[in-house]
Amino acid sequence: MSLGAEASRGISRFSKMIPNGYLIFEDESFLDSTVAKMNALRKSGQFCDVRLQVCGHELMAHRAVLACCSPYLFEIFNSDIEPHGVSHVTFEDLDPAAVEILLHYAYTAQLKADQELVKEVYSAAKKFKMDRVKQICGDYLISKMESQNAISFRNFASSMGDGRVLAIVDAYIQDHLLDVSEQDDFLKLPRLKLEVMLEDNLALPSNGRLYSKVLNWVQHSLWENGENLEQMMEEVQTLYYSADHKLVHGGLVIEGHTEVFGGEEDRLQFVQKKPPRESTQRQMSCSSSGSLSPSSQAPSAPKQSSRREWKYIASEKTTNNTHLCLAVLDGTLCVVFLHGRSSPQTSPSATPCLMKSMSFEAQPELLEQRLLAPMHYARSGLGAAALGGRLIAAGGYNREECLRTVECYDPELDRWTFIAPMRTPRARFQMAVLMGRLYVMGGSNGHSDELSCGETYDPLTDDWAQVPELRTNRCNAGVCSLDNQLYVVGGSDPCGQKGLKNCDAYDPVTKAWTNCAPLNTRRHQAAVCSLDGFVYVIGGAESWNCLNTVERYDPRIDTWTLIAPMNVARRGAGVAVHAGSLFVVGGFDGSHALRCVEVYEPARGEWRMLGSMTSARSNAGVALLGALVVAVGGFDGNDFLNSMELYDPATDRWSEDTDATG
Task: Give residue 480's pLDDT.
Answer: 97
Mean of the per-residue pLDDT values of the chain: 80
Q: How many CB atoms lie within 10 A of CB 46?
A: 11
Phi, psi of 126 (to 5 degrees): -65, -40
- CATH superfamily, domain 364-655, is Kelch-type beta propeller (2.120.10.80)
515-542 per-position pLDDT tens digit: 999 999 999 999 999 999 999 999 999 9
Which is more confident, 271 or 337? 337
Cα(346)–Cα(328) distance, integer angstroms:
28
pLDDT higher than threshold 50 for residue 60:
yes
Q: Do β-strands 390-394 and 574-578 pair in parallel, antiparallel, or remain unpaired?
A: unpaired
Instruction: Give residue 208's pLDDT.
Output: 61
- Amino acid 617: pLDDT: 96
Give the DSSP letter of residue 508: T
Measured between alpha carbons, how far is 661 from 658 in angstroms, rounded to an integer? Answer: 5
Query: Cβ(553)–Cβ(535) under 8 Å?
Result: yes
Question: Can you tell me the mean pLDDT for 194-205?
Answer: 73
pLDDT of residue 449: 64
Average pLDDT rounded to a whole number, residues 241-249: 65
Give residue 2's pLDDT band: very low, low, confident or very high (50, 70, 90): low
How do residues 377-428 score in pLDDT, each as one tens digit?
999 999 999 999 999 999 999 877 899 999 999 988 889 999 999 999 999 9
- Using a pLDDT cut of 90, give the percent of the chain over it: 45
Distance (Å, rounded) from C-alpha 379 to C-alpha 561? 33
Nearest to residue 142, comparing CAs of 114, 112, 113, 162? 162
26-144: CATH topology is Potassium Channel Kv1.1; Chain A (3.30.710)
> pLDDT digits over 337-372, tens only?
888 776 444 333 333 333 333 333 334 444 444 468
Which class for 421: exposed (0-12), middle (13-18), buried (19 or more C-beta within 10 A)? middle
Which of the pair, 246 or 361, is modelled with greater confidence?
Answer: 246
pLDDT at position 289 is 30
The mean per-residue pLDDT over the stretch 538-559 comes to 94
CB atoms within 10 A of CB 479: 25
582-607 residue pLDDT tens: 999 999 998 899 999 999 999 999 99
pLDDT in the model for residue 436:
93
**Given this model, what pLDDT does residue 484 score?**
94
pLDDT digits (tens, 9 = 90+) for 143-188: 999 998 999 999 999 999 898 999 899 999 988 998 898 888 888 8
- Mean of the pLDDT values across residues 219-234? 78
> pLDDT tens digits for 443-479?
998 776 678 999 999 999 999 999 999 988 889 999 9
d(CA 72, CA 184): 37
Choice between 472 and 255, residue whose per-residue pLDDT is larger: 472
pLDDT at 41: 82
The pLDDT of residue 290: 31
484-522: pLDDT as tens digits: 999 999 998 766 567 899 999 999 999 999 999 999 999
- Asked if residue 646 lies in contact with residue 367, where contact means CB atoms within 8 angstroms, the answer is yes
Minimal CA–CA distance to 123: which of 104, 102, 139?
Answer: 102
Tens-place pLDDT, residues 600-634: 999 999 999 999 999 999 999 999 999 999 999 99
How does DSSP classify residue 421? Answer: P
pLDDT at 207 over 50: yes
**99 — phi, psi (to 5°)?**
-65, -40
Residue 313 has pLDDT above 80, yes or no: yes
pLDDT at residue 206 greater than cutoff 90: no
- Domains of the chain by residue range: 26-144, 189-341, 364-655
Calculate ∠ Cα 215-216-218, nearest 5°.
Answer: 65
206 versus 74: the higher-pLDDT residue is 74
